[in-house]
Structure 1
Amino acid sequence: MSFLTNLKFPDTVSIYHAYLPNEYWDLVTFENDEACLKVADPRLNYYGGAEKLCKEIEKFRNFPGSLNKFQTELSTKYCTLKPAIYKTRKGKSYIYKHDLLAQMNYEVWTSSIKKNPDNMPLFPIVAIYLRTKECMMGGAIYEMVPFDVEKFDELKNQIEMRYSSFKKSSKKKKRVKSLKDVFEKFKGIMPRNKHDPEFTSLYKHFLKLHKKRPVGINAKFFENLLHVASIVFDEFDRFVAENESWFLLNKAGSQEPTVRLFGEHFGNYVFGVELLQEMRRAGLETAVIEEAIGDSGPMGTLYYPELLKLLKCQIWRIEFVITPFRKTSHKAVWIPTPDDNYCIDALDIIFELIEWTHVKGFFQGASDDQRDNIIKSFKSLEYVLKKDLVAESEVNQIKETFFEDLQKFNITPPSNKKEVRESSALSVEYLIHELSYLGLKIPFPEISLFANKVFQLMSKYLMEPVDMIHAVRICHFICIYSRIKYSTLITPEVALYLRVSDHVFAQK
C-alpha cells in the first residue's frame, strides 16, 4: 500500500492509463493538481471527445476497491457516479460492502455542499477519510450487504440540515492563523491511516491550497472548510456506528448466504468457491457443493440449473444477487473475485484485443496473408471463449501471448494509418465509403454487407445521430469476431446473432 503516499502517477492519471492504449497515454496531462485531457487532439474523436471520455472513465472506475486497484494516492477523489445497486432473485437490494463508502461520498457529492465552489477542496479530504475507513474494514472486496436507501437518504438529509444551519449561523468560528493551525485542526477530526500515520497526504493537500490561497489572508475560507468537514465527518462517524455490522467481517449466521449470479439475462452461474464460503458461514450442508467444485480453484463456476438439482430445498435459503456485466463503450468494468482479485467476462478480453488491433490500424489495407496471420493469433485464443470469467492475471498472460504471436508473424502498424473523416452526410452510403477509404474492404470483402445492419441498429437503439467512428469500429468488430468464431462466409443476418452486438449496444 506504499502507493497511497508514494504515487507513481498523480491524481487519476493511472486510471486513464488503465483505460487507454499506451499509444494514447500522452493524451493525459497533469495540470492544476488534476488529470487533464488534450481536448484539441483529434485522437479524442475515437472516444467521442474529451467530455464523453471523462464520463466513460467514471463508469470504468465505478467498482469496489477501484482506487486501490489503480494504485492511486490517498487523496484521489472518489468516483462521482452512484455505485451499482443490485437486485436479488427475491427482489431485495444489495450493494458491495466496500461500495458503502463510495455511496457515502455520493451523498455528499450530490448535496448542496457541492454547489459552493469554495467547498470543492473538501472532496480530496473526504477521500482520505473514506480510504482510511476502507483500510479498517473487514472482509473481502466481493462481499455484499443489503442496501437500505432510507438510511442513506437520512444521512444526506442530516448533512443538508446541518450545512444549511451552519450557513445561517452567525456563531463565531474556530480561528486559524497559519497552515500549521489548519493542518492540526483537520488532523483532530480525521481518522489516522496506518499507511500514513503522519497525515502526509493531508498535509500535501493543504500545502497546495495554501500556495493558491495563503492562510494568512484567507482564514475565513479555511475556517469554513473546517466546519463543513466537521459536519460531514460527524455524520459519517454516526452513520458507521449505527450500521456497524455493514462495515465489519460477515460473521457466522449474521446474514443469509449471499452469492452473485452472473451471465446474460437473469444470470446463470456463480463462483463455486464463493457459494461454498457463504454456505459454510450460514451453517448449511456443503458436501454436494464441495464435490461439485473439486479442484476448480477460485475461478471455477457452477451453473444455476445444476444448483437447483444439487441444493434442492436449501437453494431457497440463499440470496442470489443478479450481477449483470457492466461495460463502458471500450472496456469492461472489473469484477471482484473470491480470492480478493479481479476478473472480467471472458468475451471482453477478446473484444479488448480486437479494439487494440483497430486502434493500431493493423487491418487497414492488409493483404490476405497479413489478415490470416492476425486471425490465427486470435484463433489461438479460442480456448478463452470456453470460459465464463477470466482472472486479471490470466488476462495479462493472454495479452502477452497475443502480442508475441503478432511479433512472430511480423505484424506491424501501417506507416500511413488513416482515421475516419468527419462528415454531415450520415448515411449507409457514407459508412461504406469510409470503410473503403480506410482500406478495410481489402482484408474484409464482406464488411460492406454489415454496414446497412449496423447503421440500422445504431439509428434504432442509440437514439442519437450515428457516430461514424463507432459505426466503423462495430463493422470491424463483427468481421474479426465472425472469422474467429465462425467462418469467412458470413451473411449480414449472422451479425444479429453475434454476441458482439450485445457488447456494443448493451452499455448505451
Structure 2
Amino acid sequence: MNFEKEFSRINISNSQITHVMKKYIPEKLINCVKLPPGYEEKQLNAEELVQAILSNSDNMLRMYGTARELVLSLKRFQNFPLSHRYFGFDPKEMYATVPMVYRNMDRVPFINKADAIYFFQCVFHKDLFQTPKSFDLFCSMQSILLKSYEERIEGICEFVTFDAEWWAGMQSRFSTIHKQYSNNSSVMSQKWDYKKTLNMFKTMLPMWKQREYGEFEKELKMFFDSKSGNFNDVHVAIRSFADLLESIISGGRGIFLSYDKETNSNCPILVQVFESHGVQFVMESELFNAINIRNPDSKRLECKEIDGKIMTMSFEKVQRKYKDRIGNIEFIRYPIQRTDHKAVPIMTPSGLHCILASDCLFEILNELN
C-alpha cells in the first residue's frame, strides 16, 4: 500500500486538525499564532486552515514546511489505533485513520481490532440520502454508535486476520438489510421530531454520555429546526447499520470481543515485533501475556514495570530464550512510524499509547531549542 497516497486522501476535519496540531507543535510555538477575528466563520478546508495558521505565526512555524507538508505530517502523526481518544476528538466525528495491515512471518495479514472498526464507516452510499444534511447526521450517529461498540474492546491491544474478501462483502450485506427496512411501510411512515429521535438514538447505545454528546444534540436539533433533511432516510440507514453490527457480533468473528478462553478462544494470540533503524524488539508484557495464554500449565512469566516504563526485549533473544514456548504464537512486523518532527504513538498491550525513549529524548531536546 502506498501510504503517502493514502494519507493525502484522509478526510480530517478542521476540529481534528486543531486537536492534532496541539500535540504536534510545542505549546510555546502554538502561542505565537494570532489568527485574525472572524476566521472561524470562513469555510476553510484543512490545507487552507493550516495555511492561515502558518501565515499568522510570525514565521515561528517555518520549520514545519508548507501548509500541504504540515497537513500530511499531521495526518501521518494521528494515524494509529484509537487516535481519536488520544487527541480527544468529538465522538460524532468520523475515524480519520488509514488502517494498517500487518503481516506475520508467513505473510498472513492481520489488523488491529480497533482499526478494523474503521472499515464499518465505509459500507453505505451517499445516494441513500436525499440531502447532504441527512448524510451528515447519519455519519455523526454512525460514529457515536461505532465508538460505543469499540468500548467493548477497551483496554486491550488485539488483532484479527484481515480477510479482504469478507470486508469487501460488507457493503452488500448492509444493502440487503437496508432494502428490508426500506420496504417496511410502518418504518417509512413514521413521523419524527427532535425529542423522539433523540430518545430513539439513546436506546441504541449502552450509555448516554451527556457531556461527550453535547455537540451531537446541537446538530440534531439544528437538523429539525432548519428542516434540512428527511429523517426517515437517516432512521432506515442507522437501523440497518445497527443490525449489521449485531449480526457481526452474533456471527462470532470476534472483532468486538476480547480474547477469552471460554467465549472467544479462537482469537489469535499475537506479539508485535517492532522495527526501528534495523533493530527488532518486542514489549515484554505483551510477550509474557501471550506465552502465559499459550502455555497455561507452565510457570507464569511476570513482567515488572520500572518507573512506569514499558520494558522491551530483542526479538533475537526471544527466539533464543523462549523458543520452546512460542511455537503457537503469531509474531507480526510493526515498523515504527515517524514524521520529521514526531514519532507516531504506539498502542500498548493495555490500550494506552507510548513512544520509544529515544524518540522522547529527541522531542524534548527539540522543544528546548
Structure 1 window deviating more from structure 2 (113-122 vs 321-330): it is: 113-122
Structure 1 position 54, deviation (Å): 3.6
Q: Deviations over 1:223-280 (max 9, x none)?
A: 2222222232222222233235332221135444311111237862111111111111
Q: Do the aligned residues in 2 keep the contact of 1:82 with 1:103 (CA within 8 Å)?
A: no
* Distance of aligned partners of 1:315 and 1:266 in 2 relative to their CA distance in 1, 3 Å threshold: farther
Larger radius of gyration: 1
Instruction: Give the match for residue 337 of structure 2.
Output: 326
After superposition, give the CA deviation of every residue in 1:145-179 in whole Å (9 maximum; x if it has no partner): 3223232222123235666x599979683343532
Q: Aligned in 2, Cα 1:27/1:308: closer, same or farther, shift over 3 Å?
A: farther
The aligned runs of 1:403-482 (5 Å cut-off) are none
Identity %: 21
Other-structure match for 1:112 = 125
Choose the corresponding residue for 2:280, options 261, 268, 271.
268
| Structure 2 counterpart of 1:300, from 297, 308, 311 | 311
Q: CA deviation at 1:60?
A: 2.1
Q: What SS is found at the alignment partner of 1:313?
A: coil
1:198–1:175 CA distance, 2 compared to 1 (3 A): farther
Give the root-mean-square deviation of aligned CA atoms.
Answer: 3.8
1:205 aligns with 2:212: no
Q: Deviations over 1:389-412 (max 9, x none)?
A: xxxxxxxxxxxxxxxxxxxxxxxx
Task: Confirm or deny that 1:193 pairs with 2:207.
Answer: yes
Alignment partner of 1:145 is 2:148: no
Aligned length: 335
The answer to whether 1:313 aligns with 2:324 is yes
- In structure 2, do the counterparts of structure 1 residues 309 and 289 end up closer, same or farther at CA, with 3 Å as the change threshold? farther
Equivalent position of 1:4 in the other structure: none
More off after superposition, 274-283 vs 341-350: 341-350
Return the alpha-carbon distance in structure 1 between the equivalents of residues 77 and 45 of structure 2: 16
What aligned pairs does 1:330-341 form with structure 2 within 5 A after superposition?
330-341=341-352
- What does 1:91-240 align with in structure 2 at a 5 Å threshold? 91-105=107-121, 107-108=122-123, 111-113=124-126, 117-118=132-133, 119-135=135-151, 137-138=152-153, 140-160=155-175, 173-176=188-191, 178-188=193-203, 190-193=204-207, 195-196=209-210, 200=214, 202-210=216-224, 214-215=226-227, 218=228, 220-240=229-249
Between the aligned partners of 1:115 and 1:327, the Cα distance in structure 2 is 39
Work out the CA distance in 1 between the residues paired with 2:30 and 2:180.
46
2:101 to 85, 93, 112: 85
For structure 1, list consecutive stretches of 5 or more residues without a partner in the other structure. Answer: 1-9, 363-508
Whether contact under 8 Å (2:156, 2:258) holds in the other structure is: no
Aligned residues of 2:193 and 2:224 also touching (Cα < 8 A): no
CA distance in 2, matches of 1:193, 1:256: 30
CA separation of 1:167 and 1:195: change in aligned 2, threshold 3 A: closer
- Assess, with a 3 A threshold, how the Cα gap between structure 1 residues 33 and 287 changes in structure 2: closer, same or farther: farther
Distance 1:225 1:104, change over 3 A: same
Inter-partner Cα distance in structure 2 for 1:330 and 1:286: 44
2:170 & 2:34 partners in 1: Cα distance? Answer: 39
C-alpha displacement of 1:329: 4.1
Distance 1:115 1:39 in 2: 35
Indicate whether 1:250 and 2:266 are aligned: no
TM-score (norm 1): 0.56
Distance 1:198 1:326 in 2: 30
TM-score (normalised: structure 2): 0.75
Shift of 1:89: 1.2
Q: Is the contact made by 1:95 and 1:147 (CA closer than 8 Å) also made in structure 2?
A: yes
